[in-house]
Structure 1
Amino acid sequence: MQHLVTTATFSTHNGQLLGSVGSGGVAIALTGVLIAGIRQPKGSGGPEGVGNGKKGRIRHRLTSEQAQWTGVAAGTCYTVAGSIWTNAGDLSNAFASVFTSGGFGTAGLGAVSTLLAGIMYFRELAPARAAWTGIIAAGVWAQAGGIWGLPEAVILTGAHAIGAL
């Protein structure tokens, strides 16, 4: 009895596992994941899609933790993509300025980063709120630098490794 062994060829174009995506494309894709994963479709009839058959049902809903880390990844890509995506950075700046403007004494971006990390760790927010918190945190952490820059570095390194950016 003979065994025929074949190997499938898997190739990437210039090391791009996902093809030509770009930072704006990743931002669009992650935004789509957030919208699809946190919003209950209209006409679904309930949290499990009961009442309308398969029409309008959510297949996989993002948990709070998944939504916040997808938000961090999306917020990081927004920063890199620029253009229309800079509005997320403006939102992060506005949030941070509430605490760093002097109304709470001397507080820097490290304090705001710690506040956001505490909220993300100790509170289980609804997926939509968790996503917004992640997006805001990505912008604040990128500006704060230091240890707060690690999520951005990991996300961008991973995206470059698969050829997405």
Structure 2
Amino acid sequence: MIEHITAAAPAISVEGGRILGTVGAGGIATALTVILVAGIREPKGAAAGAAPGGQGGGGKKSRLRKRLTSDQAQWVGVAAGTLYMTAGSIWTIGKNVSDAFATVFTGGGFGQAGLGAVSLLLGGVMYFRELSPGKAALTGIVAAGVWAQAGGIWGLPQAVILTGAHAIGLL
């Protein structure tokens, strides 16, 4: 008696809407931090060894595929800062930096100022100034913490980021 066995490959599906599998807030916070560091730092040997005309030079050869613009860095910073607060653990440093920055303005030295005023200050800097990508990323991380605490319209970026992360299964 000959028996036929048919084996089929399992169907590829996105279980429970988890496009990237199980990531979690800590995992995505780590990934966004790597994106920020890789996207804003110039590779070693890239600027130091380049001679006029792009020829020669010493040092290790390395290339940067994509560099984050100032706007990209600040919004990746806002997303990272939001997920730092969600992840907790070692990522609470982002909230601590935001709290320290806000205290400078809300501590009474500038008169009666609340977190809404600090949020407006950060929003103005982010909109009207083009910072270097590194400073823009730090400003975004600080803004995420201040905006989350200020509430009102300032809480919209946090709501959008966390809702989007839940929708695609990151959290």
2:67 corresponds in structure 1 to 61
Q: Tell me, which stretches of 5 or more residues in structure 2 are unaligned?
A: 1-10
**Is residue 85–residue 145 contact of structure 2 (8 Å, CA) maintained in 1?**
yes
C-alpha distance after superposition, 1:76-101 (max 9, x if no partner): 00000000000110000000000000
What is the percent sequence identity of the aligned residues? 69
Per the TM alignment, residue 57 of structure 1 is displaced from its structure 2 partner at its CA by 0.7
2:112 corresponds in structure 1 to 106
C-alpha distance after superposition, 1:115-143 (max 9, x if no partner): 00000000000000000000000000000
TM-score (norm 1): 0.90
Q: Tell me, which stretches of 5 or more residues in structure 1 are unaligned?
A: 1-8
Per the TM alignment, residue 45 of structure 1 is displaced from its structure 2 partner at its CA by 3.2
> Does 1:139 pair with 2:145?
yes
1:30 corresponds in structure 2 to 32
**Is residue 40–residue 47 contact of structure 1 (8 Å, CA) maintained in 2?**
no
Larger CA Rg, structure 1 vs 2: 2
**Is residue 71–residue 132 contact of structure 1 (8 Å, CA) maintained in 2?**
yes
Residues in 1 aligned to 2:71 and 2:110: alpha-carbon distance in whole angstroms: 29
Q: Which structure 2 residues correspond to residues 62-141 of structure 1 after superposition, within 5 A?
A: 62-141=68-147
**Is residue 70–residue 130 contact of structure 2 (8 Å, CA) maintained in 1?**
yes
- SS of 1:56's partner is coil
CA 1:139/1:47 → structure 2, altered by over 3 Å: closer, same or farther? farther
Residues in 1 aligned to 2:62 and 2:86: alpha-carbon distance in whole angstroms: 33
- SS of 1:32's partner is helix
CA 1:110/1:37 → structure 2, altered by over 3 Å: closer, same or farther? same
Runs of 4+ that moved beyond 2 A: 45-48, 50-55
Q: CA RMSD in A?
A: 2.1
Residues in 1 aligned to 2:38 and 2:94: alpha-carbon distance in whole angstroms: 19
> Does 1:40 pair with 2:46?
no
Per the TM alignment, residue 46 of structure 1 is displaced from its structure 2 partner at its CA by 5.7
Specify the code of the residue in structure 2 equivalent to 1:136: V
**Is residue 88–residue 136 contact of structure 1 (8 Å, CA) maintained in 2?**
yes
CA 1:47/1:119 → structure 2, altered by over 3 Å: closer, same or farther? farther
Instruction: Report the number of matched residues.
Output: 157
**Is residue 17–residue 168 contact of structure 2 (8 Å, CA) maintained in 1?**
yes
Residues in 1 aligned to 2:94 and 2:77: alpha-carbon distance in whole angstroms: 11
1:21 corresponds in structure 2 to 23
Specify the code of the residue in structure 1 equivalent to 2:91: W
Per the TM alignment, residue 150 of structure 1 is displaced from its structure 2 partner at its CA by 0.1
